[in-house]
Amino acid sequence: MRLTRKQLGLTVLIVALGSLALVAGCGGSKTKAVLSAQEGFRVGKDRYDHKKYLRAIEAFQQVIYNNPGDPIVDTAQYYLALSYFGEKDYALASVEFNRLVLNYPGSVYAAQSQFMRAVCTFENTPRNSGLDQSELGEAISQLEDFIVEHPESELVPDANKYLLRARNREARRFYQAAVVYTRIGAPAAAKIYYQKVVDDYTGSEYAPMATFGIAEEDMKLKAYDEARRRFENFVTVYPDHRLAPKAKKRAADAAFDAAKLAMKKADYAGASGKFETFKKDFPNDSRVKKADQYLQEIAGKTTSAAPKADANS
């Protein structure tokens, strides 16, 4: 079919436009130039400094994967981990810090990465003590290892702070379990958990409260002498604690209740001694007069119970 001059002109124009599009398309598909390790790191660091952590992660990954033998790779690895930490992705941050510790043990960032790995483990533990807390124990072990292996590190004070926080959180878990048993009226079970806090988390903020709690459970179990001893020890060990004034009062309660219990059991000699001790140790207590009344009652009982002399002897 013969084309008209007009049709021929349109055909030539379409072909020309198609050629231009093809050239433009080819030009746009040119591969981007790969940055050097130093340049790539500078890009990543700039993004990190501006808290563009996701884009920083991209840049640091490229530095690491494209330059495996470059001296700057361990630094890029460290900042890659820090970028995940900045994103609060503690699980991946921990993986990357651990990778630096394992792959670059001679790096200047190795000790810092060991510390940060422990911090990530701590931060990744659920705040709700009712959820799985297994990572908390792992964080404590990692922090303890760091302190032992790097005693001169400037990060040791920070490690100790995190260690105390971790111990407090673990102690709180056992303390709360003890409180639950206290509320349901199971003093023996409560004492077990309070004692664990005292034994295993002595330096935690829950240790004093657990010590006080054990004494209170002894009161419920009517182990008054033991309760008094514990309350008095509490005052000696924690004189400035908010519970110290209450512990002093409870020590007096325990001493008085011990005397009353002995009297109830008809152990009049024991009761008499305990009431006398109560008066001597707590002379300003409002129950001193009551103690005197009990002593008079005991005296009457012991007198009436004494064998009468035979009038014919």
Residue 298 has pLDDT above 70, yes or no: yes
- In whole angstroms, give the CA distance from residue 166 to residue 161: 9
- In whole angstroms, give the CA distance from residue 7 to residue 81: 65
pTM higher than 0.75, yes or no? no
Determine how many CB atoms are found less than 10 A away from the CB of residue 22: 10
Residue 203 has pLDDT above 50, yes or no: yes
Give the pLDDT score at 18. 46
What confidence tier does 118 reach under pLDDT thresholds 50, 70, 90?
very high
Which residues 6+ apart lie within 8 Å of 79 measured at CB? 41, 44, 45, 48, 56, 60
pLDDT digits (tens, 9 = 90+) for 133-179: 778 999 999 999 999 999 999 999 999 999 999 999 999 999 999 99
Give the pLDDT score at 34. 73
Give the pLDDT score at 307. 60
Give the pLDDT score at 305. 57
Give the pLDDT score at 131. 63
pLDDT digits (tens, 9 = 90+) for 232-283: 999 999 999 999 999 999 999 999 999 999 999 999 999 999 999 999 999 9
Comparing 286 with 129, the larger pLDDT belongs to: 286
Residue 19 has pLDDT above 80, yes or no: no
Residue 29 has pLDDT above 70, yes or no: no
Give the pLDDT score at 262. 95
Residue 7 has pLDDT above 70, yes or no: no
Which residues 6+ apart lie within 8 Å of 271 measured at CB? 259, 260, 262, 263, 294, 298
Give the pLDDT score at 309. 52
- In whole angstroms, give the CA distance from residue 103 to residue 42: 22
Residue 17 has pLDDT above 80, yes or no: no
Q: 214-218, 244-248, 299-303 — which is least confidently predicted?
A: 299-303
Give the pLDDT score at 302. 73
- In whole angstroms, give the CA distance from residue 292 to residue 272: 10
CA 1 to each of CA 19, 143, 304: distance values in angstroms, whole numbers, following the listed order: 25, 87, 146
Question: What is the average pLDDT score of the chain?
Answer: 88
Three-state secondary-structure class, residue 24: helix
Which DSSP string corresponds to 205-250? TTHHHHHHHHHHHHHHTT-HHHHHHHHHHHHHH-TTSTTHHHHHHH
Three-state secondary-structure class, residue 176: helix
Give the pLDDT score at 248. 97
CA 36 to each of CA 39, 41, 62, 70, 81: distance values in angstroms, whole numbers, following the listed order: 5, 8, 10, 10, 21
Comparing 24 with 96, the larger pLDDT belongs to: 96
Angle at the Cα of 103 from the Cα atoms of 97 and 106, rounded to 5 degrees? 95
Residue keyed to tokens 């040119």 = 30
Give the pLDDT score at 22. 41
> Averaged over 282-304, what is the pLDDT?
90
- In whole angstroms, give the CA distance from residue 140 to residue 69: 34
pLDDT digits (tens, 9 = 90+) for 34-43: 789 999 999 9
Q: At what angle do helices 134-149 and 156-183 cross, to 10 degrees?
A: 150
- In whole angstroms, give the CA distance from residue 230 to residue 224: 10
Nearest CA-CA partner of 82 in 111, 113, 59: 113
Provide φ and ψ at 183, rounded to 5°.
-65, -30
Angle at the Cα of 243 from the Cα atoms of 199 and 281, rounded to 5 degrees? 100
**Contact, 244 vs 209, CB < 8 A?**
no
Share of the chain above pLDDT 70, in %: 85
pLDDT digits (tens, 9 = 90+) for 35-66: 899 999 999 999 999 999 999 999 999 999 99
Q: 4-18, 173-187, 203-217 — which is least confidently predicted?
A: 4-18
Instruction: Kindly list the domain boundaries of the chain, sorted by start residue.
Output: 244-302
